[in-house]
Amino acid sequence: MLRGLATFAAFRDQGQTVSEQKTTRNHLWRLIRRGRPSVAASSVALLAALASVAGSLWFPIQTKHLIDRFDGGGIELQQVLLVAAALVGGAAAGALSAYMLARIGYQVVAELRAALVDKLLRLPVASFDKESSGERVSRVIRDCEAISELITKQTVNLVTGVLLLAGSIVVLLLLDVPLTLTLLGSVVAAFAVMIPIAFLLDGLSRRTQDRVARISGILTHIFQEIRLVKAFTAEAQERRRSVAEIEDLKRLGLKTARVNVALEPVMSLAMTIAIIIILVYGAARVAAGEISVGTLTAFILYIFNVVNPLAQLTNFTAELQKAKGASVRIAAIFDEAEEEKKTSAQPAPHSPGGVLEFRDVSFAYAGRDTTVLNGIDLLFEPGTTTALVGASGSGKTTILSLIERFYEPSSGQILYDGRPIADYPLQQWRGGIGYVAQSAPVMPGSVRDNIAYGLSGEFTDDQVRSAAERAGALDFIERMPQGLDTVLIEQGNNLSGGQRQRIAIARMFLRDPDLLILDEATSNLDSETEHQVRLALEALMRGRTNIIVAHRLSTVIHAQRICFLEAGRISGIGNHGELLASHPYYARLVQRQFQQPVEAEPMEAG
Ligand SMILES: Nc1ncnc2c1ncn2[C@@H]1O[C@H](COP(=O)(O)OP(=O)(O)OP(=O)(O)O)[C@@H](O)[C@H]1O
400-457 per-position pLDDT tens digit: 999 999 999 999 999 998 889 988 888 888 888 998 887 788 888 888 888 988 887 7
pLDDT of 341: 62
Query: What band does 483 get if pLDDT is binned at 50, 70 and 90?
Result: confident
The pLDDT value given to residue 596: 52
Cα–Cα nearest to 447, from 512, 410, 502: 502
pLDDT of 250 > 90? The answer is yes
How far apart, in whole angstroms, are the C-alpha atoms of residue 584 and residue 239? Answer: 50
Residue whose CA lies nearest to ligand 1 atom number 29? 393
> Poorest-confidence range of 44-53, 101-110, 337-346?
337-346
Mean pLDDT on 140-167: 82
| Residue of 129, 365, 604 to test ligand 1 pocket, by largest number of atoms within 8 Å of CB | 365
List the residue whose alpha carbon is closest to atom 9 of ligand 1. 398
ipTM over the 0.90 cut-off: yes
pLDDT above 70 (res 276): yes
Cβ of 90 below 6 Å from ligand 1: no
- Is the per-residue pLDDT at 376 higher than 60? yes
Please report, for residues 522, 555, 599, the alpha-carbon distance to residue 561 in angstroms, rounded to integers and kept in the order given.
20, 11, 19
Give, for ligand 1, the residue of 132, 369, 398, 603 to mutate: max count of ligand atoms closer than 8 Å to Cβ: 398
Cα–Cα distance measured from residue 387 to residue 564, given in angstroms and rounded to the nearest whole number: 8
pLDDT grade for 17, boundaries at 50, 70 and 90: low
* Pocket lining: 398 vs ligand 1, CB cutoff 6 Å: yes
Q: Is 520 marked active-site?
A: yes
pLDDT of residue 359: 95
Task: Name the helix (H) or strand (E) containing 564.
Answer: strand 561-566
**Sheet (strand 373-380) strand order:** 373-380, 356-363, 411-416, 419-420
pLDDT confidence bin for 221, thresholds 50/70/90: confident
Q: Which of 263-272, 386-395, 524-533, 582-591 has the lowest mean pLDDT?
A: 524-533
Question: Distance between CA atoms of 308 and 57, rounded to whole angstroms?
Answer: 13
Give the number of the atom of ligand 1 that is nearest the alpha carbon of residue 126.
1
Which residue's C-alpha comes closest to atom 20 of ligand 1? 393
Does 87 score more than 90 pLDDT?
A: no
CB 378 within 8 A of CB 565: no
Across-strand partners of 362?
411
Answer whether 393 contacts ligand 1 (Cβ < 6 A). yes
- Among 191, 177, 121, smallest CA distance to 295 is for 177
> In whole angstroms, what is the distance from residue 31 CA to residue 24 CA?
11
User: DSSP character for 360?
Assistant: E
In whole numbers, what is the pLDDT of the chain averaged over residues?
81
Q: Of 382, 356, 352, whose CA–CA distance to 513 is shortest?
A: 352
Q: Is any ligand 1 atom within 6 A of the Cβ of residue 365?
A: yes
Residue 396 CB less than 6 A away from ligand 1: yes
Q: What is the DSSP letter of 350?
A: P
Average pLDDT of the residues in 471-491? 84
Is residue 26 within 6 Å of ligand 1 at its C-beta? Answer: no
Task: Give the position, in ligand 1's atom list, of the atom nearest the Cα of 395.
Answer: 18
Q: What is the DSSP string of 54-105?
A: HHHHHHHHHHHHHHHGGGGTS--HHHHHHHHHHHHHHHHHHHHHHHHHHHHH
Pocket mutation for ligand 1, best pick of 362, 363, 397, 551 (most atoms within 8 Å of C-beta): 397
Residue nearest to atom 13 of ligand 1 (CA): 393
Q: C-alpha 536: how far from its chain's center?
A: 38
Distances (CA, A) of 204 to 8, 268, 389: 16, 22, 55
CA distance 227 to 493: 11
How would residue 40 be classed by pLDDT, with cut points 50, 70 and 90? confident
> Is 370 a pocket residue for ligand 1 (Cβ < 6 Å)?
no
pLDDT at 202 over 80: no
Is the pLDDT at 112 greater than 50, yes or no? yes
Q: How far is CA 597 from the centre of its chain?
A: 48
Q: Are 602 and 522 in contact (CB under 8 A)?
A: yes
pLDDT reported for residue 248? 92
What gap in Å lies between CA 199 and CA 202, rounded to an integer?
5
Q: Indicate if ligand 1 lies below 6 Å from the C-beta of 395.
A: yes
172 exposed, middle or buried (CB, 10 Å; 0-12, 13-18, 19+)? buried
Per-residue pLDDT, 108 = 85
Report which of 181, 182, 177, 253 is spatially closest to residue 215, judged by C-alpha positions.
253
- Judge contact between 362 and 373, C-beta under 8 A: yes
| Ligand 1 atom with least separation from CA of 390 | 21
Distance 400 CA to ligand 1 centre (A): 11
Of all residues in the chain, what percent carry a pLDDT higher than 90?
A: 16
The rounded Å distance from CA 399 to ligand 1 centre is 10
Cβ(401) – ligand 1 distance below 6 Å: no
Rounded CA-CA distance 364/370 in Å is 6
Nearest CA to ligand 1 atom 16: 395
Q: Look at residue 442 and give its three-state secondary structure.
A: coil
- Name the more confident of 362 and 130: 362
- For ligand 1, say whether the CB of 551 is within 6 Å of any of its atoms: no
pLDDT of residue 492: 59
Q: What is the pLDDT of residue 410?
A: 93
When pLDDT is averaged across residues 67-78 and rounded to a whole number, the result is 70
Ligand 1, residue 399: give the atom nearest the CA: 18
**210 to 203, 213, 220, 325, 592: CA distances (angstroms):** 11, 5, 15, 15, 52
Segment 152-170 shows an average pLDDT of 82
The pLDDT value given to residue 235: 92
Sign of CA dihedral 141, 143, 146, 152: negative
Task: Check 319, 520, 601, 604 and give the catalytic one.
Answer: 520
Phi and psi, residue 598, nearest 5°: -60, -45
Average pLDDT for residues 342-363, to the nearest whole number? 75
556 band by pLDDT with thresholds 50, 70 and 90: confident
**Strands of the sheet with 385-390, listed across from one edge:** 433-436, 515-519, 545-549, 385-390, 561-566, 569-574
| Strand ranges, E, within 410-519 | 411-416, 419-420, 433-436, 445-446, 487-488, 515-519
Predicted confidence band of residue 561 (pLDDT cuts 50, 70, 90): very high
Would residue 565 be called left, alpha or beta, if left means φ above 0 and alpha means ψ between -120 and 50 degrees? beta
| Residue 85: Cβ-neighbour burial (10 angstroms; 0-12, 13-18, 19+) | middle
Radius of gyration of the chain (CA): 35
Is residue 154's pLDDT more than 70? yes
Of 459 and 48, the one with more pLDDT: 48
Q: Determine the residue of 372, 373, 410 to mutate for testing ligand 1's pocket, defined as the one with the most ligand atoms within 8 A of the Cβ atom.
A: 372
Instruction: Report the pLDDT value the prediction gives residue 380, as an integer from 0 to 100.
Output: 92
Ligand 1 pocket residue status of 406, Cβ below 6 Å = no
Q: Are 571 and 564 in contact (CB under 8 A)?
A: yes
Burial 248-274 (b: 16+ CB within 10 A, else e): ebeebeebbeebeeebeeebeebbeeb
